[in-house]
Each structure stands twice: as C-alpha cells, then as structure tokens.
C-alpha cells in the first residue's frame, strides 16, 4: 500500500485544528477528491462515525467508499479507515510545534 506523509503548520491551537478535521462536513475543504458525502451512522462525531462518499480520481474516475472513524483521541488524533470501496486509511495527529 502506498503511504503518503505530510506535515503542515497552522496558526491555530491544535484543538481548533482537530475539531475542523473531525467534522466530516469540512472534508471537501481540505481533501478536494471527496465529494457527495453522507453520514451513514447514528454517530456524527467521534468514534463510530461512518461517512459514505465519492472519491474522485482525475476527470473520469469516481468510486464510492465508506470511511469509518476507528481511532479518536479528542484534540490529538483521529483515524479514518475504509470499510467499503477504495481501500484507504487516513490518520491525522495534532500537536504544538515550536513555542
């Protein structure tokens, strides 16, 4: 499996950045290949959240997938893993950098 690791600095407290990423409705703002999203679980925040979405690959390929929150450490770490469709795992970790 291909692994891509990126690091980014933002001028916000880690907790604010975490909350933004943990809200599935913000996905298109930072992962433009995610479209047509619907939560499929009763839980809409945190562990147990499942989101059905369309993944767009270039101009011609669209594939549906379901991402589940499988690890959730509020303010620190969130992990999404596909349970259907495109095999993927997305992990976000948050920490203070510098002073």
CB 35 within 8 A of CB 58: no
Evaluate whether residue 1 is within a structural domain.
no
Nearest to 23 by CA among 84, 86, 58, 72: 72
Domain count, the chain: 1
Grouping H, G, I as helix, E, B as strand and the rest as coil, residue 21 is helix
Does residue 5 form part of some domain?
no
83 lies in which domain range? 14-93
Asked, for residue 32, whether it belongs to a domain, the answer is yes
This prediction has a pTM of: 0.85
| Residues 6 or more apart whose Cβ sits within 8 Å of residue 48 | 41, 68, 69
Over range 42-67, report the average pLDDT: 92
Residues 5-50 pLDDT 10s: 778 788 888 889 899 999 999 988 888 888 889 999 999 999 999 9
Whether 98 maps to a domain, the answer reads no
């Amino acid at each position: 499996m291909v692994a891509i690791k990126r690091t980014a600095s933002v001028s916000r407290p880690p907790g604010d950045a975490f909350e933004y990423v943990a809200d599935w409705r913000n996905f298109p703002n930072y992962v433009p290949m995610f479209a047509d999203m619907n939560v499929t679980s009763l839980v809409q925040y945190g562990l147990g959240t499942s989101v059905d979405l369309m993944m767009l690959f270039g101009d011609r390929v669209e594939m549906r997938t379901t991402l589940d929150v499988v690890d959730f450490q509020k303010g620190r770490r969130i992990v999404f893993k596909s349970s259907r469709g495109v095999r993927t795992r997305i992990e976000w970790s948050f920490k203070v950098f510098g002073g």
